[in-house]
Structure 1
Amino acid sequence: MATIYEVAALAGVSPATVSRVLNGAPVGQPYADKVRKAAATLNYKPNRTARTLRRRSAEVIALIIPDIENPFFTALARGVEDRAQAEGYSVVLCNTDDRHDKEAKYLEIALSEHMAGVILAPASDRTSLDTVTARKTPVVVVDRTAHHNDVDAVVVDNAAGGRTAATALYEQGFSLVACITGPSDVETAEQRAAGWREVFTARTPEAIPDDYLRFADYRVDGGFAAMADLMRLPEPPDAVFVANNLMSLGALHCLAELDQAPPAIGMVAFGDLPLGIPAPAGVSVIHHPAREIGVVAARLLIERIAGDTQPSRTVVLPTSLD
């Protein structure tokens, strides 16, 4: 018996487009004609039970993220929406503030409203998707993987970003590079710090890495407080890797108050500074491909909605130093 993927291949379209045509959703006439012709050629018979269940699901995707005020997640959301709209889906945006109770509530709403699927940036390593996967609702996680949950994920190489940042600062001539990262129970924070630690240990063997590592809350105030704490050390750092954009802004504010703004103190920020603020002199940026993460996540989710049953995939996108 032919599959939806064979129909898609013969028609030269995505499985999601085949699903939309066969379920009566609006699709451009040339594509619809190709799909119907391919289905007829292959004698494709849709699973009636599956079609009934899909019709119960609104053509809506839930996008659940920690902080809509963070420009990284704003750009990610735009990528999700652009790809989803192109396939005929709408996106509902939910903000968790990294709180598990809000995250669980939004996941329950997605299930109760029979949404087509969920794209989620997990609140922490403790996030559970058992209820969602038990109901066979497609899920893709972004930015952070979901431990103990067998679902697709789209992430960046965070450890490589941390190594690149620290190496760049040492090669600029700085001798003691500190790190400000996010909460200790958030995967991205741990991975970015691990990359920094690898370089710090090799380049500064006489120093203790934990003395120059600060965990904060991925927000402006957290970056300010962590930078201030580092500068109070008996031997303060002469450079710092800050593991997200909002904390980088807080660290810059702190250094300005201390009259030690870059380039007096070296800095590499992970992710573009918020509000379109250009990086000041002496500050480099690890490019975080936020919109691309959203586009890829939406593509994977729509494939799952269309019936893709291949094993779960983790797509790792590269970072780069601007």
Structure 2
Amino acid sequence: MATITDVAARAGVSVATVSRTLNGKATVDPELAARVRAAAAELGYQPNGLARSLRKRRTAVLALIISDVANPFFTSVARGVEDVALIAGYSVVLCNSDEDLDKERRYLDMAVEERVAGVVLSPSGETTNVGALLGRGTPVVAVDRPLPGVDQVLVNTRLAAVEATAHLIRSGYQHIGCVTGPVGIRTADDRLAGYLAALAAAGRPDDPRLVRRTDYRAEGGQRATVEVLRAGPVDGLLVANSAQAIGVLEALRSAGSRLGTDVGVVAFDDAPWATLIDPPLTVVAQPAYELGALAAELLLDRIGGATSEVTVRTLEARLIERGSSRRSPDPADTARG
């Protein structure tokens, strides 16, 4: 069965362009829209008509439970889920768990009580329990973070952290630290593991003083950076998400550290503001929209009974090198020369 990603590949466009075309958005270039429609016809793509035919058995609503809607990464995930769901005739209820297991549990209970057709979930921790939903036959797809026993759409975030840290090493930074998320959140654990693996591969000792685990917010990133700067010499930082990166940049500015020159920084997620600072921020760009779109497709397949075995799809991230990880000449040295 052809998927929305198959159509995008055949048409040579993004998944977002396919979604906008099939949803009838007028903003799509007519030539691209024609290519999308032709590709869909060639592949026999159907927006899960079987799922639509079954929706009368339960509410034609999907629940999307994510950790932080203010995070641009999850905003893009949500848009991917919504666009695909809309094509298939479903509405999406957005729930914000705030990385709080109790709040997440309340939303999962709501999904059971309201008999939603399915749930896309970014688990808040290792103890997330979707047994009540599965027991009632409500399909669940985990997005961004794994959850045993259900379909999953993930990013190879450990490998991305290896590549980002290796980039800082190649760029000449000697004392590289890491600001990552809380213990027990798989993406935070994987990014730390990738950072440590890259140091080991380069023969660099890891310095526990230069590692901080904190919440995935700007305040946490700022607090962690202040602590790292006080702990020992640091001239490079791997940062686990764009919200933390805001706090990291604030702390570096307050300390008088010049981005790139004094401290090289690479952060996960290509936030809209990343190219607006000076120098622009080097990032690990994750395919957030595609994560959401694929998660919604897997969920609709489950609703339609098109698959029985657990499916795990793993996407790759991409390092985008910019000025924040390039050493610039010190103006004072240039003047002296």
Q: TM-score, normalised by structure 2?
A: 0.79
The change in CA–CA distance for 1:227 and 1:125 in structure 2 (over 3 A counts) is same
Aligned to 1:18: 50
- Cα RMSD of the aligned pairs, angstroms, is 2.0
Aligned to 1:134: 135
Pick aligned residue for 2:319 from 298, 304, 321: 321
How many residue pairs get matched? 279
Aligned to 2:218: 220
Contact 1:73 1:290 in 2 (8 A): yes
> Secondary structure at the residue paired with 1:236?
coil
Aligned to 2:80: 79
CA distance in 1, matches of 2:203, 2:234: 11
> Secondary structure at the residue paired with 1:188?
helix
Aligned to 2:170: 171
Q: Which runs of 4+ in 1 moved over 6 A?
A: none
User: Can you list the C-alpha shifts for 1:115-170, whole angstroms capped at 9, x where unaligned?
Assistant: 11000000111111111111110110111011xx3100111001011101101111
The change in CA–CA distance for 1:184 and 1:279 in structure 2 (over 3 A counts) is farther
1:100 deviates by 1.1
Percent identity over paired residues: 39
CA distance in 2, matches of 1:275, 1:61: 31
CA distance in 1, matches of 2:273, 2:92: 23
CA distance in 2, matches of 1:209, 1:159: 19
1:63 deviates by 0.3
Counterpart amino acid of 1:266? G
> Secondary structure at the residue paired with 2:60?
strand
Contact 2:235 2:263 in 1 (8 A): yes
Contact 1:56 1:114 in 2 (8 A): no
Pick aligned residue for 2:229 from 228, 231, 242: 231
Aligned to 2:33: none
Contact 2:51 2:88 in 1 (8 A): no
CA distance in 2, matches of 1:302, 1:18: 9
CA distance in 2, matches of 1:155, 1:266: 27
CA distance in 1, matches of 2:274, 2:86: 25
Matched, 1:292 2:295: no
> Secondary structure at the residue paired with 1:241?
strand
Counterpart amino acid of 1:218? Y
Pick aligned residue for 1:259 from 246, 252, 256: 256
Matched, 1:283 2:281: yes
> Secondary structure at the residue paired with 2:84?
helix
Specify every segment of 5 or more residues in structure 2 that has no aligned partner in the other structure, as ranges: 1-42, 321-337
CA distance in 1, matches of 2:142, 2:81: 12
> Secondary structure at the residue paired with 1:260?
coil
1:279 deviates by 5.1
1:19 deviates by 4.1
1:274 deviates by 5.7
1:13 deviates by 4.0
The change in CA–CA distance for 1:128 and 1:163 in structure 2 (over 3 A counts) is same
The change in CA–CA distance for 1:284 and 1:275 in structure 2 (over 3 A counts) is closer
Residue pairs, 1:1-322, within 5 angstroms: 12-14=44-46, 16-20=48-52, 23=53, 54-146=55-147, 149-205=148-204, 207-233=205-231, 235-263=232-260, 264-273=262-271, 278=276, 280-281=278-279, 283-322=281-320
CA distance in 2, matches of 1:255, 1:13: 50
CA distance in 2, matches of 1:126, 1:215: 19
1:58 deviates by 1.1
User: Can you list the C-alpha shifts for 1:204-248, whole angstroms capped at 9, x where unaligned?
Assistant: 53x334232110101000000111111002x32110000111011
> Secondary structure at the residue paired with 2:309?
coil
The change in CA–CA distance for 1:104 and 1:230 in structure 2 (over 3 A counts) is same
Counterpart amino acid of 1:87? A
Contact 1:70 1:274 in 2 (8 A): no
Specify every segment of 5 or more residues in structure 1 that has no aligned partner in the other structure, as ranges: 1-10, 24-50
The change in CA–CA distance for 1:316 and 1:278 in structure 2 (over 3 A counts) is farther
1:280 deviates by 3.6
Contact 1:175 1:204 in 2 (8 A): no
CA distance in 2, matches of 1:241, 1:154: 24
CA distance in 1, matches of 2:271, 2:48: 36
CA distance in 1, matches of 2:196, 2:315: 21
The change in CA–CA distance for 1:75 and 1:216 in structure 2 (over 3 A counts) is same
CA distance in 1, matches of 2:280, 2:200: 23
CA distance in 1, matches of 2:193, 2:123: 20
CA distance in 2, matches of 1:94, 1:185: 21
User: Can you list the C-alpha shifts for 1:271-315, whole angstroms capped at 9, x where unaligned?
Assistant: 123656635416310001111100110111011111123211111
Contact 1:267 1:282 in 2 (8 A): no
